[in-house]
Every structure is written in C-alpha cells, then in structure tokens.
Amino acid sequence: MKKRQYSCGLDAAVDVVGGKWKALLLWELHHGPRRFGELRRRVAGISEKMLIQQLREMEKAGLVDRKVHEQVPPKVVYSLTSFGDSLNTALIPLGEWGEVHMETIEAIPRD
Amino acid sequence: MKKRQYSCGLDAAVDVVGGKWKALLLWELHHGPRRFGELRRRVAGISEKMLIQQLREMEKAGLVDRKVHEQVPPKVVYSLTSFGDSLNTALIPLGEWGEVHMETIEAIPRD
DNA sequence: TAGGGTACTTACCTTTTCGTTTGTGGAGGA
DNA sequence: TCCTCCACAAACGAAAAGGTAAGTACCCTA
C-alpha cells in the first residue's frame, strides 16, 4: 500500500498483493482458516514480525478476518473474507503461469 | 528477482512481476511495440533510470525484446516476447479484479 | 548559436522493506 | 522448577527499492 492514484487495475492489484509474503499467505488461507502458529509453521521462512505485520495489513485491506477466541492459552483464527477470496480467484491464472514456467523463472540470472 | 526457491507458482510469478513499474510496463507494451521515449511519456511518473532498469530486468527475464535500429538519432524499440505475452494474459483477471475493486483499494487506510 | 530530442549512464541520497533479537504473562507438561 | 507454547509487541539494523540530478555524444530546428 503506497499509492493512492492508480493508472490501471493491474497497478492497483499488484499494490495490494505485492511484497514477499502476501501471496503466500493468501494461498495458505485459501485452504482454510488458520491459527497464527499454524501459519508460522506452514509458511516456510516467515518471521513472527513479518507474519503479524502482513496479517494486519491484509485485515485493514479487508482481505482477511481475524477472530479471537477468549480463552487461555489464546486462540486467534485467521480466514479469508469474500473479498480476499475473490482476489485469490483472480490470482489463479497467475499461479498456474508461475508453475508452468517455474524452471524458466528460476533460471533467470540475478545480479 | 530475489529468490531461487519458490514455494508455489504464485510466489514465483509475483517475484517476476513485482515492484512498482513492471506491471505498468507490461500493460503498456501489451498495446504494441514502444520506443524508449514513448514509454517514458506514456508511463506517468517513471524516471529514466527506473525505466531503463526495469526494461533491462525484463529483457533478462525474457519478457521483452529490445531491438536497436542503427541510425542517427538512435532508435530502440521494445516489444513483448511470447513469454511476456503469456504473462500478460495470465494477469488479465488480476487487472480486472483491480478495476472492479478500485475504489475499495483506494479507500484502504495507509499509515 | 541556443535549445530540444535521441537513448541511456553514473553517482548519491532517501524511503521502504525485511530480518533478528528480546520480552510479555499465564498455563500445562516433565 | 524449568521448559515450552500461545499470540503478539517493540527496538534496532541491514538490505533492497526507488528518486533526483547531472553528464554523454550526436543531430536537427529555429
């Protein structure tokens, strides 16, 4: 979330789903509601700080729903809203493209 | 382009198209081949440094083709490869999602 | 003769993003 | 009693991304 004025829909969408973790979290939540600790374990390499940061941003954006179960130890469950689900649906072709061309993408030189 | 190991296709695709400018450039080139100066004028707000940097990265990734016409003054034309075009096709649903929800996205608070 | 267009390149700086570490407070298990 | 788990929070620094400004070499137009 950096801009206010977008030049096209794609611009806006990439702004919402951009960054290192949001796409992965969307994908993981697509499989079903998840607790904080579950997400931390299933999304490889994410730190707790990044996880909570991304979740908060996605909550603000209306993509995910955060439900607190008042109990000890605490239990918080995150799930996709219908808005988040619609974004996920729109991302499916892109995900398939990525899978098909995975080897090509991995072979891109980076310097 | 930062990682080598992707956990899913979506992860890889977002890595390729991520950042502030690549989606806009892909979209612009989707309308047809463009010269450097044309892109600079049509993609609002981009600096020459960013433009050439992104174009070079997209060239390395095999998304765009760079054709130099040896003449004075110089003339360089950029166009999508079939690989770049396939990415663009995969991005269409996302672009449509962004257009449909543009107002919602613009209303997301950023602090 | 001055200014603008052609397509870049380089240096420097600021902003944003990402990662690491430490700490909270109560509860249950060895 | 110590350790771990739960779901965070806060501080700090590194790294990456992005922005600004200037320079290059040549040509055409006014």
Each residue's pLDDT tens digit, B10-43: 999 999 999 999 999 999 999 999 999 999 999 9
Nearest-nucleotide field for B2 (CA, C1')? D16
How many angstroms is C1' of C24 away from CA of A98? Answer: 41
Which amino acid type is present at position B84?
A: G
Summarize pLDDT for A10-31 with one digit per residue, the tens: 999 999 998 999 999 999 999 9
Nearest chain B residue to A27 by CA distance is B10
Write down the pLDDT at residue B4.
Answer: 66
Do B104 and A2 touch, CB atoms closer than 8 A? no
Say yes or no to pLDDT of B3 above 60.
Answer: no
Taking residues B3-12, report their average pLDDT. 84
Domain ranges of chain A: 9-106
Question: Which of chain B's residues have a Cβ under 8 Å away from the Cβ of A15?
Answer: 105
The verdict on a CB contact (< 8 Å) between B108 and A11 is: no
pLDDT value for A3? 59
* B15 CA vs D14 C1’ separation (Å): 21
**What would the CATH number be for the domain defined by A9-106?**
1.10.10.10
Is B67:B77 a contact under the CB 8 Å cutoff? yes
Tell me, which fold does domain B11-106 have in CATH? Answer: Arc Repressor Mutant, subunit A (1.10.10)
**Given B4, B9, B16, which is nearest A99 (Cβ)?**
B9
**pLDDT tens sequence across A51-94:** 999 999 999 999 999 999 988 889 999 999 999 999 999 999 99
Mean of the per-residue pLDDT values for chain B? 93
Distance B34 CA to D24 C1' (A): 23
B102 token code pair: 């543009």
